[in-house]
Amino acid sequence: MSRVNPFAPCCNKPRRLMLTLYPPNTCQQTEYITYVPPTSAAALTDLFGRCLPNLSFDNLQLTSVPGAAREQHCTASILLSPPPDPSYDHLHDGTIVEYPDDSYVENVNVTSPDKILTLLEPRIADVSFVLDNVTNGTLCEQLGIPSLDTDRTATFGHSLGGATAVDALLAEPRLRVGCNRDGGLWGDGITLINIRLYLLLTAGNHPAWNTSLAENWPYQTGRK
């Protein structure tokens, strides 16, 4: 919370991130937990209910390991940055981000392609901010989570999260691998040359207004 939130309506409020950790564990016993808290469930059901009227986020559940030991694991770390709907959680560009204290923030409704960069730059900074903090042993101990080894870290994302993964790979030397799943490209990402390994995966009917992938294609020197 040491960064000012550029989308806060007033008062230079700090940027609060929600981070979910999925550490490997031995599943001797599992239990179901709700996928999202109530306010988020209502917002997402309303959003997706326009095209999926029978979908209810209230009924979605995840399997978890109760009382799982929070230990340091010698594994690679992967950062996921989803699209601007349910988010990882880049506040104000997701439909809603809800915190453990039941407070929440909604999106700023940026829909114009010309304004995407206003969302992308804070997302890239979020990646570096998370890497800084998950390696801070003192902070992690205060939060009750294991500190992570970021020597082998990958980042991937979908939609705007995919664009975030590509541009974060350019900006953050701690990232070794990236994957952009069905996301456009903006800024320096359009002329990205394979300085590090990354996967660009997109649908054949990617939105016609977004020509960035075609512009980027000649710069690709790896396997196509």
- Per the confidence metrics, is the pTM higher than 0.85? no
Question: SS3 for 138?
Answer: helix
Strands 77-81 and 31-34: unpaired
On the 0-12 / 13-18 / 19+ scale of CB atoms within 10 A, 129 is middle
The yes-or-no verdict on residue 206 having pLDDT over 70 is no
Average of per-residue pLDDT across 196-217:
77
Look at residue 85 in the predicted model and tell me its pLDDT: 35
Look at residue 151 in the predicted model and tell me its pLDDT: 82
Look at residue 138 in the predicted model and tell me its pLDDT: 92
CATH architecture of 71-219: 3-Layer(aba) Sandwich (3.40)
Rounded distance between C-alpha atoms, residue 156 and residue 161, angstroms: 7
Rounded distance between C-alpha atoms, residue 83 and residue 47, angstroms: 14
The yes-or-no verdict on residue 208 having pLDDT over 60 is no
The full set of domain ranges for the chain reads: 71-219
pLDDT bin (cut points 50, 70, 90) of residue 87 is very low
What are the angstrom distances between the C-alpha of 200 and each of 88, 99, 130, 177, 182? 20, 32, 23, 11, 8
Look at residue 209 in the predicted model and tell me its pLDDT: 58
In 55-159, where does DSSP find H-type helix?
A: 116-134, 137-143
Look at residue 69 in the predicted model and tell me its pLDDT: 58
Average of per-residue pLDDT across 94-119:
77
Look at residue 84 in the predicted model and tell me its pLDDT: 42
Q: Which of 92-96, 180-184, 188-192 has the highest mean pLDDT?
A: 180-184
Average of per-residue pLDDT across 183-187:
80
**Model pLDDT for residues 36-84, shown as the tens digit of each residue:** 888 988 888 888 887 888 878 888 888 888 776 555 555 567 776 654 4
Name the more confident of 213 and 87. Answer: 213
Mean pLDDT (the chain) is 79
Lowest mean pLDDT among 17-26, 96-105, 210-219: 17-26
